[in-house]
Structure 1
Amino acid sequence: MGRNTRKRRTPLATKAIAASAALALGGGGLIWANYYASAHETSSQNSTKAAAAQVATITCPDVGQQLTNVPNQARTEVDGELANLDRQITDAYQRLATTRDAQARDASFVQNSILQPLKERRAVIIDRIQLEINRVGGSAPDSLDGLAACTGTTAGQADNTAGQNNSGQPNTGGQQPQQTGSPQPTGGQQSTGGQNTGQQQGNGGQAGNGPAAADFVDITKVQPNVAAKPRKTRSASNGTFTTRCGVNANKNHNTDNVIVAPGVTNGAHHLHDYVGNQKVNAFASNDTFLQGGTSCQNRNDLSSYYWPVVRVQDGTQDFDQNNDGGGKEGNVGKILTPVQAQIKYVGSPTSKVVAMPQFLRIITGDAKTTTNGLANANAHWSCTGFENKVQLTTQYPICPQGSNVVRTFAFQSCWDGQNIDSANHRTHVAFADANGNCQNGFKAIPQLTMRLVYKITPPTLQNGVVKNAYAVDGFPEQLHKPPTDHDDFISVTTGGLANKIANCVNRGQRCQ
């Protein structure tokens, strides 16, 4: 079975009446379309009520996250099938976005003409995934059989999902070591539930799929929420190693993601900044990385550090306004280059660290929190002058005059000691517990931390509408919500640099 390497050419609607297709990783996603306007396209009272009750979003289970143990021999085929699931969701969105009149006339149209056919098509692909895993001696999870069906929800329900995990509370796990949870702002905006608000259609934003006013808060009105760091023991590794790799001033961008969608063009469906390794795309291999060159001052640092771009939605467009992953998929506005990008490796508060293995892959955060909830969220938004007091996960900060927006990431710092990746790209690494200890036999590795600073004119909130908004790029169905922020890393070093980083950290030195 061949890999899916063909570029998806289906254009996605970016009109205000229908935001974007679900093209999320691993065949899971949230399909968004605004149907409130269609309620007034007929004079029939019954049709108006039917339209008001129509599906605004479709949630599809995230198949990829269930695949925690896929044999290496099957991963190529499985990756291709997950891309096929993405295409099916795209087709379903197209059907959803272009049949509003039919939905207004028939309350069962979405179920019979969109959801049921989608379920049947997904079931075929899921069966193929199971066969591929079992064919090479693996054991496909029994849970896959229940992941074919997608469900329709209202826009308000989708908005609530982005701010909750399975317990209904903001995540406070180890992946957010500086934060006690999502703060409750004072004087902040209430959720708009995805409804039209003045100039903002759908869920707001320049492309109609976010951000909305509720996604922003004046940071000066948020109570301090940064928790104390774990207490260091005598065995702590207190050093730091800083690598200087620039801010992507040369505009090295693409919409691929070689970690989660190798061989699939536009596998990320949003644009990334790349620093460090300069030859990273969907088709790059480990050999490619070693020949890729680097933007880092330390020429032995060939690692790839990449993150979704931030855009300001002030009515302007950028070079990709008509491209896949850009304007075609709801990622619009002027791309902002960070004014600072600090990349630093730090130690463990309770132990020495071992060197990172060559080609280790780590993804921190979850690009699909609007679908999955906050269980794996690791977004940290703040402002210069406030970083030690306030860190936000579920809202973007509006910074005061003279203060800049800051994104920070603290990657997983525990490694299973064997694997450089895992089938769902999560289980081979983990966060330390609340005391800073690695669990389940995992080994402490130097913790990669990143700090990105942006000079952004503060957005304004007027009558429930945000003007001159900024937002992180993302899968369009995720509505550009703040918690979808994430960061990607591939460790590639030469000249013994990985050992030098570990030794520096273990000795308590400050190196670069």
Structure 2
Amino acid sequence: MGRDRRPLGLLFWLVLGSALTVAVFGASATGIGTGTGTDPGMSSHGAGGGGPEPDDYVDIRNVPPAAPAPRPGPDGSTGTYRVDCGRNEGDHYNQDNLVVSPGLPGGAHHTHEYVGNRSTDARSTDRGLAAAPTTCRGGDRSTYYWPVLRRTDRPATHAYEKAAGHGNAGRILRPAEVRLEFHGNPVGRVVAMPRFLRALTGDAVARTARSEADVRARWGCSSLPGRFTTRYPRCPEGDRLTRTLIFPSCWNGLDTVDSTRTHLVFPAANGVCPRDTFAVPQLRITLGYDALPAGTPIALDSFPEQRHSPRTDHAMFVNVMTDAAMAVVVDCLNSGRRCAV
């Protein structure tokens, strides 16, 4: 499982990435994405490329509480394991996407922010990731990354803020908190993730997709933790805005990378994994941003035609834990303990 398994997948994503490049530049040339959102508080410096739209915002107090999580059964793995990898204090940003577009520099067409493995870019290999330094305590060399969130009424001042282009403009908001947690399964024990497993959650093209099946955006506010929305929340004064990114956790037992997104899928609402899949630790990334003045315009980096839609929120993960370290995570979850490193 630890070998670099890419030849066909790499070719697929190189071709796809080239097509996306043509589509993106074509959209720019024809003026797609040049509208202006007019949410209260949006300034004339709003996000380049058009959007967000007025209905992309919602007062979190108007969002109903989420349905409760399924109650764990007698055989459930109820533990949690937290990894501390910092808040990207080293300014690790790029426009690559190793999981979706391996080998294609700039393939994301927007800026991703990283914690964990300090070497991650489009050209990363399994061997290179395994030897690289990390920001994580305890030596976890896994890579965790997501698109940046910007304040669009403030200009970009750093080179890494200006690098994306394609309508992604404004000052990048650094998370005040990055919480990385692995959870168990409510109905059974989990097995180890294979080393170098690639994982993706969310849909970067949700605004123009034919289906919302892959939308996993969960935006919220710190004072109302049980309320989530696929829109940008307007939070009560003093609240942190939050993003929660939950990964699929039912593995097919065979593949570490799969361009069709079938090697790792979500369990049913009751926690049961599909037939012929195995429950593995479920990664949850929670990002918290310091309170902003009322009406501050914000925008998620996106493809131009997605117009910074909050529904396009997504994140990626490559497991580079050693087998021994993953065994510790599995034991913690299966024994129902709360662990941290």
TM-score in same-fold range (> 0.5): yes
Q: How does 1:298-309 map to 2 (within 5 A)?
A: 298-299=138-139, 301-309=140-148
2:28/2:304 contact within 8 Å kept = no
Structure 1 position 297 matched with structure 2 position 137? yes
Whole-angstrom distance in 2 between the partners of 1:78 and 1:270: 20
Write the letter of the residue equivalent to 1:224.
P
- Output the CA distance in 2 between the equivalents of 1:304 and 1:446: 16
Equivalence for 1:310: 149
1:319 match: 158
User: Which residue among 353, 365, 383 is the counterpart of 2:190?
Assistant: 353
Does the CA contact (< 8 Å) of 2:267 and 2:273 recur in 1?
yes
1:25-36 superposed matches below 5 A:
none
1:213 to 47, 54, 64: 54
For structure 2, the residue ranges without an aligned partner over 5 or more in a row are none
Task: Describe the shift of the 1:476–1:236 C-alpha distance in structure 2 as closer, same or farther (beyond 3 A).
Answer: same
- CA 1:272–1:229 in 2, change beyond 3 Å: closer, same or farther? same
Letter in 1 for 2:285: M
> Residue 286 of structure 2: SS of its match in structure 1?
strand
Cα deviation for residue 377 of structure 1 reads 0.4
Shift in alpha-carbon separation, 1:323–1:74, aligned structure 2, 3 A: same
> Contact 1:235 / 1:350 at 8 angstroms: preserved in 2?
yes
Aligned position for 1:280: 120
Task: Note closer, same or farther for the CA distance 1:234–1:340 as it changes in structure 2 (3 Å cut).
Answer: same
Counterpart Cα distance in 2 of 1:487 and 1:73 = 23
The one-character-per-residue Cα deviations of 1:469-506 (angstroms, maximum 9, x if unpaired) are 01211112210011100011000012600111001100
Cα gap change, 1:508 to 1:198, in 2 (>3 Å):
closer
The answer to whether the 8 A contact 1:238-1:347 is kept is yes
Give the match for residue 443 of structure 1: 278
1:488 aligns with 2:316: yes
Offset at 1:218? 1.6
Q: Aligned-pair distance for 1:322?
A: 8.3
- Are the equivalent residues in 2 in contact too, given 1:197–1:204 (CA < 8 A)? no
Among 206, 219, 230, the alignment partner of 1:381 is 219
User: Which one has the bigger helix percentage?
Assistant: 1
Deviations 1:421-465 (A, max 9, x none): 1123x11011111111001211000111111100141442xxxxx
Within a 5 Å distance, the mapping from 1:248-263 to structure 2 comes to 248-263=88-103
Separation of aligned partners in 2, 1:364 and 1:401? 30
Amino acid paired to 2:224: F
2:229 to 387, 392, 395: 392
**TM-score of the two chains, using structure 1 as the length reference:** 0.62
1:75 to 2:12 alignment: no
Q: Cα distance 1:348–1:288, how it changes in 2: closer, same or farther (>3 A)? A: same
One-letter amino acid of the counterpart of residue 58, structure 2:
V
The residue correspondences of 1:220-235 to structure 2 (distance < 5 A) are 220=61, 222-235=62-75
Helix, strand or coil: the match of 2:137? Answer: coil
Aligned CA distance change for structure 1 residues 469 and 94 (closer, same or farther; 3 Å)? closer
Q: TM-score, normalised by structure 2?
A: 0.91
- Is 1:238 the counterpart of 2:59? The answer is no
How far residue 329 of structure 1 moved from its aligned partner, in angstroms, is 1.1
Q: CA deviation at 1:320?
A: 4.0
Residue of structure 2 equivalent to 1:432:
267
CA separation in 1, counterparts of 2:36 and 2:237? Answer: 31
User: Is the counterpart of residue 334 in structure 1 residue 164 in structure 2?
Assistant: no
| Alpha-carbon distance in structure 2 between the residues aligned to 1:206 and 1:348 | 40
- CA offsets 1:108-165 (integer angstroms, 9 cap, x no match): xxxxxxxxxxxxxxxxxxxxxxxxxxxxxxxxxxxxxxxxxxxxxx98xxxxxxxxxx
**Residue number among 251, 260, 267 corresponding to 1:415 in the alignment:** 251
* Structure with higher RCO (Cα < 8 A, 6+ apart): 2
For 2:264, give the aligned amino acid: V
**Secondary structure at 2:14 match in 1:** helix
Superimposed CA distance per residue, residues 332-356 of structure 1 (whole angstroms, 9 cap, x where no aligned partner): 1111111111111111000000011
CA contact (8 A) 1:243 1:344 kept: yes
Aligned residues: 334
Give the whole-Å Cα distance in 2 for the aligned partners of 1:198 and 1:383.
19
Q: CA deviation at 1:207?
A: 1.4
Uncovered stretches (5+) of structure 1, i.e. residues with no partner? 1-70, 98-153, 156-193, 461-467
Counterparts of 1:409 and 1:197, CA distance in 2: 27
Alpha-carbon distance in structure 1 between the residues aligned to 2:49 and 2:274: 43
Whole-angstrom CA distance in 1 between matches of 2:41 and 2:241: 23
Distance 1:427 1:480, change over 3 A: same
Question: 1:204 touches 1:213 (CA, 8 Å); kept in 2?
Answer: no
Q: Is the 8 A contact 1:459 1:469 kept in 2?
A: no
CA distance, structure 1, for counterparts of residue 294 and residue 41 of structure 2: 14
**Between 373-382 and 208-217, the greater mean CA deviation after superposition:** 208-217
| Structure 1 position 94, deviation (Å) | 4.8
Residues 16-59 of structure 1: CA distance to partner in whole angstroms, max 9, x if unpaired? xxxxxxxxxxxxxxxxxxxxxxxxxxxxxxxxxxxxxxxxxxxx
Structure 1 distance, partners of 2:161, 2:116, is 28
Amino acid at match of 1:506: N
Contact 2:93–2:113, Cα closer than 8 Å, also in 1: yes
Question: CA deviation digits over 1:159-214, x for unaligned, max 9?
Answer: xxxxxxxxxxxxxxxxxxxxxxxxxxxxxxxxxxx57759999x993314111322
CA RMSD of aligned residues (A): 2.5
Paired residues for 1:7-18 under 5 Å:
none
Q: Does 1:455 find its partner at 2:294? A: no
